[in-house]
Amino acid sequence: MFFCAISGEPPQEPVVSAKSGKVYEKRLIVKYIHENGTDPITGDKLEESDLISIKASPENAAPRPPTNTSIPALLQLLQNEWDALVLSTHSLEQKYNSTRQELSYALYAQDAANRVVARLIRERDAAREALSNVQTSMGIAPQGNGSADVEMEESGAAEEGLPANITSQIDETHQALSSARKKRKAPAGYATPAEVKTFTATHTIPSLHSASPAGITSLAVSKVNPSQFLTGGNDHIVQLYDRSTDKVLASLKGHSRKVNHVALREREGDNTLLLSAGADKIAKIWGYDDASGEYSPRATIRSHKGEITGLGVHPTRTILGLSSADKTYSLHDLTTFQQVFRSAPADEPFSCLSIHPDGTLLALGTPSSTIHVYDVRSGAVAASLTPPNAVPFTVNTISFSENGYHLVAPNSLSSVAIWDLRKEKTAHTIDLGEDFKINKVAYDLSAQFVGVAGSQGARVFLQKSWDELLRLEEGGEVSDLVFGAQGKEIWGATGREVRIWGAPA
């Protein structure tokens, strides 16, 4: 290794003096010759031509600077590198904290935006409902929104009556059903009074709907598939259940308050429709979607200003009847999803609804204990039934007999009356006891049995003799009651359970 005789460092371009034989850095010795003209070591005269270049190997790396060849220098270098690393880490941590804070602000802003959007949606829905009510009161048909869940529109005023095609359907159905009913007896194999007396609990479906708020408010059993039933609850949910598989087939959300009534529209050649009406002033219609294999919304009825208190499917299977606390009732076409009739406001709210088996009459209960019977085709009052010497109470349930001659309804808070529609007077009264609060009355398909559900269970009475055939109290309060196929079963909603009573195995 060479060292420059002037600088003492390894030369980058080494040359040797022919005069002294010393090695120099070329740039340094050339500069010295130009200034002095002599060899810096011997003092002899020296010219640039006397310098001889030394060809060093380019593979040899230059040695480290003298500052990194001692232990203190190496420690200082490592300390500097460590300080730089710590400073860089601190800078990255600051950026990380800054990013986290920005993300927190962004999430907070998004949450606030979601709350604003939710509030705007609620305000929009309220505005739509208010607009619909205003349009309804003015007789203007609201415009549809083009979505799959269609708003059922008004298409007929109270004074105009039903459209001619709807009236024709009702008349045809009335003629066919009334002529056949007069000759018809109980179907072959139908349950006898002796069999009903032996009914006991055969099946219980527990834990239906949410636990809070708990309770089933309405029950409907399929006539096409007797193992399937529909329930509505205090939890705002409509639920379709299959008893044979013990599975929930559909859990439908759309109501914002409790569901008061549910029903199934089953018609040969058409898909089944699930119907519900609630305390939120709306009725919902769901239909089965073959593409998705699920039930999806088909229509929402918002034409009433008050709670929907009654729901019934007309015997034509194409008309839906609704009663409301806003003192009106309405009829809706289940084929076109249009409102076809809206009654003029009555003197008092309507508390329940039932449609005559022949399809020409509509019975509506009131909070003053009076039952108004309307002609479905014209909207005119056909009869008003008021229990004699009755203390005013709310008629919360009505049921026509299948033969069309009788109507059963509460006569007081704890008694029921069977009205003879031909004479417009009470044919019989059944006292249930002062502690019994009536929730539901129902005739069976053969018009042999009358079922009453209430605060102390359910009871079944025999038509004409009015003997009590059955008392069902083990489930506690029964909110709704339905007779099953062929009268072989009785279904009841108790709390979050659906109980089924039938002949013992």
- CATH number for the domain spanning 231: value is 2.130.10.10
Distance CA 36, CA 24 (A): 15
69 falls within a domain: no
pLDDT at res. 158: 47
pLDDT at 406: 92
CATH of the domain at 34: 3.30.40.10
Q: Same domain for 120 and 171?
A: no
The CB density around residue 69, as the number of other CB atoms within 10 Å, is 10
The answer to whether the CB of 262 falls within 8 A of the CB of 493 is no
pLDDT (0 to 100) of residue 107: 93
Contact criterion met (CB below 8 Å) for 452 and 459: yes
Residues 204 and 247 in one domain: yes
Same domain as 103, residue 57: no
pLDDT tens for 243-263 read 999 999 999 999 999 999 999
Q: Count of H helices and E strands in the chain?
A: 4, 33
Span of 1-5, 30-34, 165-169, 418-422 with lowest mean pLDDT: 1-5
Q: Which of 168-182, 229-243, 469-483 has the weakest average pLDDT?
A: 168-182
pLDDT digits over 298-355, tens only? 999 999 999 999 999 999 999 999 999 999 999 999 988 899 999 999 999 999 999 9
Confidence of residue 474 (pLDDT cuts 50, 70, 90): confident
Instruction: Decide if 437 is inside a domain.
Output: yes
Residue 215 belongs to a domain: yes
Query: Per-residue pLDDT averaged across 393-405, rounded?
Result: 91
Burial degree of 159 (CB within 10 A; 0-12, 13-18, 19+): exposed
Q: In what order do the strands lie in the sheet with 371-375?
A: 352-355, 361-365, 371-375, 381-385
Q: Are residues 121 and 238 in the same domain?
A: no
Q: Is the peptide bond before 63 cis (omega within 30 degrees of 0)?
A: no
- In the predicted model, what is the mean pLDDT of residues 188-216? 91
Do 247 and 314 belong together in one domain?
yes
Average pLDDT over residues 2-13: 86
Our count of domains for the chain comes to 3
CA-only gyration radius of the chain, Å: 46
- Please indicate, yes or no, whether residues 280 and 422 belong to a single structural domain of this protein: yes
218 in any annotated domain: yes
Please tell me whether the overall predicted TM-score, pTM, comes out greater than 0.85 for this model. Answer: no
* 406 and 458 in a common domain: yes
Q: How many CB atoms lie within 10 A of CB 437?
A: 14
Average pLDDT, the chain: 88
What residue type is assigned to position 236 of the chain?
H
- Return the pLDDT at 145: 42
* DSSP summary character for residue 463: T
User: Are residues 33 and 131 located together in one domain of the fold?
Assistant: no
In a domain, 82, yes or no: no
pLDDT at position 72, please? 82
At 444, give phi and psi (nearest 5°).
Answer: -85, 175
Residues 92, 48: one domain?
Answer: no
Q: Which residue has the higher pLDDT, 234 or 188?
A: 234
Same domain, 380 and 277: yes
**Do both 249 and 121 map to the same domain?**
no
In a domain, 368, yes or no: yes
Q: Which two tokens stand for residue 97?
A: 């904290």
Distance of CA 447 to the CA centre of its chain: 38
Residue 143, in any domain of the structure: no
Write down the pLDDT at residue 135: 64
Instruction: Kindly state whether residue 484 falls inside one of the protein's structural domains.
Output: yes
- For residue 408, give the amino acid letter: V
In sequence order, the 6+-apart residues with CB closer than 8 A to the CB of 468 are 459, 460, 461
- Which distant-in-sequence residues (6+ apart) come within 8 Å of 256 by Cβ? 236, 278, 280
**Contact yes or no for 370/395 (Cβ under 8 A):** yes
Assess whether 101 and 49 both reside in one domain: no
SS3 of residue 27 by DSSP: helix
CB 386, CB 369: distance < 8 Å = yes
Phi, psi of 115 (to 5 degrees): -65, -40
> Which residues constitute the domain of residue 275?
150-183+190-502
